[in-house]
Structure 1
């Protein structure tokens, strides 16, 4: 079966997915300001697990064929790393803000590029290393270390980016043997089990009005992932992957209009440096492939 290639539709789907994910992040911040982060992430993962089970059931060969893997330990660790990244990110939303968190988080493609050489054995040329170095200069512009305005909470966002980069590297490694459906199932199932074991200790009743917010959070996660999957199905990754940076634009709009965050000049400049370095890295990687 020949995979269709419709870049325009893929880009539209990816832009919509990034908008929904930005809304999801805003809802996560709203709930995490009132309730324990672990509980919020736990409920979110329940819906995510139901979604990946449904995807696995519709995969070629059926449910059991989709979840079968010869590397269960790697897949389980992947799921745990992503669950930890989500928890750390939500904490960063609360203590640092949406805009600053995502400005720093935008460096994760650079971290992936830096790790792909020693971990996966991929060739990383001098141009990509230069882009990685420039990108981290952008992170320094955002964090402003050594200045009185330096916010140590920025380290939390960087830890989230590092965790997501490790997750991405492990996903590439797992993809050498397992299908995307298999990895997707293990991501949701392992995360749901882990967050349930931890989040159950922090359960607290939600106000009746907040249940609708929680439902919107869960539905937005399912819708965002489904749209992202569809975008990669209808178009090549090289066409749609750079569009994921629209997430930062939508986050800025939500952060300013809903949470009254501000975009300081150094934050804008640093984020621009990181994004351009990341786009260059993605472009060089596409050429390599």
Structure 2
């Protein structure tokens, strides 16, 4: 990976994060007037069409994209993601963009905590300490004992948990399936599943809102296209921290468009959660880089005795 590719990957990741923030604002606008399932269903129809278009351009075409070593887990991934999208849109309406994204920022910490039982990875004391610090940040946002606790505050936490499981399953299926295969199954299975629900909630949409819906679909495809190219140019561990640009961007949109307030406890708590999340991402990158020389040495000396204990 050259420095030029890394810079390009970072810029593409930032661009994707900013577009995803705009997409969240449009989703909130439409969901305030129409059923959440219908809004997400139409969005996923366009996404599925985009996924099929990408698959046809890949090596091996459509047949290669369909061929999965974990079809059940791929469908489960699609189910988790479509459910997470619906829950997040509900959270946007109940809590607003600012507080929803502040809570959702804890998902890397959940990934780190569950990587042991789900993937069998070892989580060291440094990352467990970061997970604990992140939990403190969540408590700062919730303010238990200071204000009356609202069950709505748990909605983005549920979304973060589902997205973390989706990410862990993505890493698990990558042992056999390529990124192109996982991307295809995510879009197509998600579209089929949400259609089975959303079609029962269809309602007429005004012409201006069809314009917003078209913008929602186009922005989603554009953001995913930027994301694909970002991961193609640079290592995931190098560019993933820049996905946090979505948090301040969503906060600005929430305050300027929807009149949301940035409370002090939310600002402080989000800062703690993001800092802890960035630390876990950094530690994961350090561990990955440390593992590469070991693999290289193992490849140079295949007859060396095992050092597993």
TM range (shorter): over 0.9
Q: Deviations over 1:191-216 (max 9, x none)?
A: 10011010000000001110000000
Q: Deviations over 1:107-155 (max 9, x none)?
A: 0000000000111011110000000000011001001123324332110
Q: Deviations over 1:13-43 (max 9, x none)?
A: 1111111000000000000001000000000
C-alpha spacing 1:275/1:4, structure 2 compared with 1 (3 Å): closer
Q: Counterpart of 1:153 in 2: which secondary structure? A: helix
> Does 2:228 match 1:207?
no
- Is this contact kept in 2: 1:4–1:235, CA < 8 A? no
Name the CA distance, whole Å, in 2 between partners of 1:58 and 1:3.
26
Structure 2 equivalent of residue 14 of structure 1: 13
Quote how far apart the aligned CAs of 1:3 are.
9.0
Correspondence list, 1:1-289, <5 A: 6-289=5-288
Name the CA distance, whole Å, in 2 between partners of 1:222 and 1:15.
15
Residues 61-70 or 144-153, more deviating: 144-153
The alignment's TM-score, normalised by the length of structure 2, stands at 0.91
Quote how far apart the aligned CAs of 1:237 are.
1.6
Q: Counterpart of 1:48 in 2: which secondary structure? A: helix
Q: Counterpart of 2:58 in 1: which secondary structure? A: coil
Q: Counterpart of 1:69 in 2: which secondary structure? A: coil
RMSD: 1.2
Name the CA distance, whole Å, in 2 between partners of 1:206 and 1:160.
27
Structure 1 equivalent of residue 303 of structure 2: none
C-alpha spacing 1:75/1:126, structure 2 compared with 1 (3 Å): same
Name the CA distance, whole Å, in 2 between partners of 1:210 and 1:275.
34
Quote how far apart the aligned CAs of 1:55 are.
1.1
Name the CA distance, whole Å, in 2 between partners of 1:239 and 1:249.
20
Name the CA distance, whole Å, in 2 between partners of 1:30 and 1:7.
35
Name the CA distance, whole Å, in 1 between partners of 2:237 and 2:37.
35
Structure 1: any 5+ residue segments left out of the alignment?
A: none
Structure 1 equivalent of residue 302 of structure 2: none
Quote how far apart the aligned CAs of 1:188 are.
0.4
Q: Counterpart of 2:34 in 1: which secondary structure? A: coil
The alignment's TM-score, normalised by the length of structure 1, stands at 0.97
Quote how far apart the aligned CAs of 1:83 are.
0.4
Quote how far apart the aligned CAs of 1:238 are.
2.1
Quote how far apart the aligned CAs of 1:4 are.
9.1
Structure 2: any 5+ residue segments left out of the alignment?
A: 289-309
Higher Cα radius of gyration: 2
Q: Deviations over 1:136-186 (max 9, x none)?
A: 110010011233243321100100000000100111111111000000000
Structure 1 equivalent of residue 306 of structure 2: none
- Is this contact kept in 2: 1:10–1:234, CA < 8 A? yes
Name the CA distance, whole Å, in 1 between partners of 2:41 and 2:230.
27
